[in-house]
Amino acid sequence: MKTQTWNYPNIGINATILWFTGMSGAGKTTIAKRLKERLANKHNVPAVIIDGDELRRGICSDLGFSMKDRMENVRRAAEIAKLFSHMGYVAIVTLISPLDQHRMAAREICTGMNFLEIFIHCPLETCEQRDVKGLYERARAGEINDFTGIQSPFEFPDKPNVIISTHQQTVEESCSLLIGHLATVKII
Q: Where are the domains of the chain?
A: 16-184
174 is catalytic: no
Q: Name the pTM for this structure.
A: 0.90
> Residue 13: its pLDDT value, please?
60
Q: Region 142-169: what's the mean pLDDT?
A: 93
Mean pLDDT of the chain: 91
- With cut-offs at 50, 70 and 90, classify the pLDDT of residue 70: very high
Q: Region 156-160: what's the mean pLDDT?
A: 95
Say if residue 188's pLDDT is above 90. no
> Residue 64: its pLDDT value, please?
85
Edge-to-edge strand order for the sheet containing 90-94? 47-51, 90-94, 16-21, 114-121, 162-165
> Residue 3: its pLDDT value, please?
52
Strand partners, 51: 94
CB 90 within 8 A of CB 60: no
Second CATH level (architecture) for the domain 16-184? 3-Layer(aba) Sandwich (3.40)
Q: What are the DSSP E strand ranges found in the chain? A: 16-21, 47-51, 90-94, 114-121, 162-165
Residues 6+ apart with CB under 8 A from 38: 175, 179
- Which is catalytic among the residues 66, 97, 174, 176? 97
